[in-house]
């Protein structure tokens, strides 16, 4: 069943941001268990209780999701594109029904 990504992750961007120069890693996603300050150029999401973070780190790197994020991004040129959470959360994907299924898939990948 297609579900919006916001059913599994929440926006934590404001909690981690600090004004600084843009980094040249647009179009990237990463999984981190570290707490810290992040550039405002990035959208930060945190998994909800029903979500396996490793599964979502793999999912976000699939060509289909990368294309959906790109299509929902804003900016004048590719180098300045940014997918804000309000645009990110409307993306719908087929998700495993349980966190346990997500975890099993992530362990295989």
For residue 34, list its beta bridge partners: none
Distance between CA atoms of residues 34 and 90, nearest Å: 27
For residue 40, list its beta bridge partners: none
Q: Domain locations in the chain?
A: 2-108
Residue 4 phi, psi (nearest 5) = -70, 145
Distance between CA atoms of residues 96 and 55, nearest Å: 10
- Give the predicted TM-score (pTM) of the model: 0.69
| Tokens standing for residue 51 | 């979500």
pLDDT given for residue 34 in this prediction? 82
pLDDT given for residue 33 in this prediction? 83
Per-residue tens of pLDDT for the chain, all 109 residues: 566 555 556 666 555 544 333 444 455 778 888 888 887 777 888 888 889 999 988 988 888 888 887 777 776 666 667 777 777 788 888 899 899 999 999 999 8
pLDDT given for residue 19 in this prediction? 38
Distance between CA atoms of residues 46 and 89, nearest Å: 12
* Runs of H (alpha helix) within 62-98: 63-71, 85-88
């Amino acid at each position: 069943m297609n579900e919006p990504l916001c059913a599994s992750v929440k926006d934590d961007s404001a909690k981690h941001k600090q004004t600084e120069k843009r980094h040249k890693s647009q179009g990237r996603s990463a999984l981190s268990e570290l707490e810290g300050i992040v550039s405002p150029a990035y959208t930060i999401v945190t998994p909800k209780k029903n979500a396996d973070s490793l599964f979502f780190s793999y999912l976000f790197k699939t060509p289909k999701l990368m294309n959906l994020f790109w299509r929902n991004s804003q900016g004048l040129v590719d180098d300045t594109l940014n997918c804000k959470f309000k645009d990110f959360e409307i993306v719908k994907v087929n998700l495993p029904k349980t966190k346990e299924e997500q975890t099993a898939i992530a362990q295989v990948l």
